[in-house]
Structure 1
């Protein structure tokens, strides 16, 4: 039987995943999507890694997707001179302008408008909130004087959060524009935009993709700021997926509020019928240990129970000692909980009569009928991938098998819950095509003789139009 896990795993690339052998083992253990973190990416490295993944896909029949994750307006300190510890009550300056090596007196800050944006008594959080500073004064040009409220090791290139400050940086920085154009040139499958605050942030990225890519590249909006949570209804109208990025979210918003926000964001994505990824610190212990904590196991399980399409690993696979074992462990957790009847997904039928209403309605009824008649698979033919998004959103118990002649979307669909995509280009007649794909489902072990399947197709099949037909088949 093929790997039957329906919830997808996103793994971040890094030094720990730099060989073809490790990447292949990760794919075998259950990775569906590889994430390029452009906060720490070297273009030549990225090209090489993308080529490795695509070679493995072609040679071994995987369809791993590539997600390019843009840094967004991420504030960072510069490189430190040796090991630096700051103590409560110390004074330290954050200085913009030309980069320099930081000391316990002064550190470089990569954000030119920092002295203008911050105000006296506002908090500066460093390294996911491990260090806390309070603004004493700012000269409005290049220096912000601060007092250490909570000290500790001051490390190079760590992220800075300003929970009380309205920052004037755009969502797409100069670096992001350059990185997005590079990602388009690689024809990545998804692009994620960090620190999305408004729908306008996404519109700017969409325009950039249109200019630099012949194909539509779907966008994941990363929600990690209070404004993103507040504007979520407008944001979901302009993105193709959501990511609950709990690291920065848990620093920008009190950490105890994040669990409920996670549940609300997952529910919002589910009602919008777009995929949602839960990210950050899922199996953090496994960076250095072969076993996760019970709390981490619970966290992954609860994210799946909330209805996440995918769960994501960051440091665990980019710099961790056990990139393959962490995937295998996550796969076991997913397999043990994802078929629980306790998982509830909104089941309201589609009612807004857009030009895709008929397709949406057919997908909704296909998912429900599959559950009613205990069909083992839903086989759909698609050119755009739209039906895969729709069927996945209704969470049927049956396998979702997607057949397409559009190679561009094969790997793209790997992010969607339950979807397994296959290349298929023999569109002759509806009867012949349905018979063909059903046999492929049988050969690959998704169904057995005597099982029922549901087939969705656009008739006439040769025209590859919108799905307009639902058919029940018996193997």
Structure 2
């Protein structure tokens, strides 16, 4: 099967009714999807299971390594049911939120956050329906009632989401629903688990304990959606395996004019720490209904590529849109064109002398630099833990990064990482024999040809984890 794998920046596509069939998943894989996202805000476990089975079958049948990303819902705050068609509000109207379920009227409206009266303070803003309605807290009894003044009005309808950009909420990051979903996810071959509404590194540690308790190899993506996460971004990056810039809720909770620079700053810091970073939300949203993207969307995707993001993500575009295949095709074209101008010169992070992995980092850095200096066709890495792939990718070399591993799960995990192409290999013997074998595999796959220069990197002995200590230049015979 012919697939599109020329791009370095990866595509994450959300699965939904428009894309969950075997035929649609296969088509999306052909045109450039690297990771499928399962959104646990929607769908039953049985429905997710069908998608997982289909993706695994596609991988096995066609020798692919498409990854699976399970996205936990997190603590969603919503108003309850509203009487009739909704409540029309204008500036300075006063409404009351309560924490006891009721049908909403002008007198009182239920909000699904029991500790809201306790956590909120006078003067803090409350945003409803993706920020379409904005309120200010004018009174709270710290028990069960909060009074709010309308700043920007509109029609308040049933079950609309609530954002609290100024409030330090006390809800746990993992809800009861998340824990139930996680119990299911950890029985599946999922590569990445995304944690929603992360506020501190402690949230990530709680999730890691649950994953480790099941001895599951899944890695954690921290979704940056809260102002607190932006303030603590360095520690969150350090304690996560990857980052998602979730611009939907984040764009509601921080001033809109700050969002572009926040995105660029997070991408830069993730590259410095060798953490894959995904830019997500509304990337090509007009294609939910339209057959082509807007000019602003084209520029948005291209800018994410030029910033150095590992991946760009599609949500409703592929989950419920009319043209999921066309969306991915268009995104692939934009990525390939932008990558022609992508240049990391002067932006490659230098190894940190104070790091416990400094020596290995220097080897990976020099693999990338050597590949540039000698115009190598590819960098070949052998890995079990994934360390070599993550680190070499962070230096953004201008050639292919081809990774061999004896762990199938790791190969699919690495399909999220910038520039990485993966092959299975389980016959690691001596270093020279292994380099010869994997080079022959690449010749058969028509990835390299006689005369090509290759930079080889890995561990000696080959099964030593987290210690990349070998660098060797070879010429394909």
- What's the TM-score bracket when you normalise by the shorter of the two chains? over 0.9
Using the size of structure 1 for normalisation, the TM-score is: 0.93
Q: Distance in 2 between matches of 1:19 and 1:262?
A: 33
Partner of 1:289: 290
RMSD: 2.3
How far off its partner does 1:153 sit? 4.6
What is the SS of the residue equivalent to 1:67? strand
Secondary structure at the residue paired with 1:441?
Answer: helix
Partners of 2:130 and 2:319 in 1: how far apart?
18
| Shift in alpha-carbon separation, 1:101–1:288, aligned structure 2, 3 A | farther
- Listed one character per residue, the Cα deviations across residues 291-348 of structure 1 (whole Å, up to 9, x for unaligned) are 1111110011001111100111111112211111111111000000123144557324
Structure 1 CA distance for aligned equivalents of residues 140 and 463 of structure 2: 67
Structure 2 CA distance for partners of 1:106 and 1:28, relative to 1, 3 Å: farther
What's the offset of the Cα at 1:81? 6.0
Structure 1: any 5+ residue segments left out of the alignment?
A: none
Aligned match of 1:361: 362
Partner SS state of residue 401, structure 1 = strand
In 2, are the aligned partners of 1:376 and 1:453 still within 8 Å (CA)? Answer: yes
Q: How far did residue 217 of structure 1 move? A: 2.1
Q: 1:278 to 1:83 in 2, by over 3 A?
A: same
1:201 matched residue in structure 2: 203
Determine if contact 2:82/2:104 at 8 Å carries over to the other structure.
yes
- The match for 1:95 is 98
| Residues 319-328 or 128-137, more deviating | 128-137
Distance in 2 (CA, whole Å) between partners of 1:8 and 1:124 is 36
Alignment of structure 1 residues 407-422 onto 2, 5 Å: 407-422=408-423
* Residue 18 (structure 2) pairs with residue 13 (structure 1): no
CA distance in 2, matches of 1:85, 1:323: 36
* Segment drifting more, 129-138 vs 400-409: 129-138
Correspondent of 1:192 among 190, 194, 197: 194
Cα shift at 1:53: 1.2
**Equivalent in the alignment of 1:250:** 251
Question: Match of 1:35?
Answer: 37
Could you tell me whether the CA contact under 8 Å between 2:280 and 2:314 is conserved in 1? yes
Higher mean displacement: 248-257 or 174-183: 174-183
Q: State the distance in 1 between where 2:343 and 2:464 align.
A: 41
- 2:167 pairs, out of 165, 168, 173, with 165
Stretches of structure 2 that go unaligned for 5 or more consecutive residues are none
SS in 1 for 2:186: helix
Query: Is the contact between residue 277 and residue 308 of structure 1 (CA under 8 Å) also seen in structure 2?
Result: yes
- 1:449 — aligned with what? 450
Instruction: Tell me how far 1:418 sits from its aligned partner.
Output: 0.5
What is the TM-score of this pair, normalised by structure 2?
A: 0.92
Kept in 2: contact 1:68–1:188 (CA 8 A): yes
How far apart are the structure 1 equivalents of 2:158 and 2:218?
A: 33
| Cα distance in structure 2, aligned partners of 1:316 and 1:153 | 26
Do 2:387 and 2:466's aligned partners in 1 also have CA atoms closer than 8 Å?
Answer: no
1:462 CA displacement: 6.8
Q: CA offsets, 1:400-449, max 9 Å, x none?
A: 11111111211100110001111111223332321121122222232232
Aligned to 2:25: 23
Which digits, 9 at most, give the CA deviation of each residue in 1:43-69, with x for residues without a partner? 221112111111111112221111112
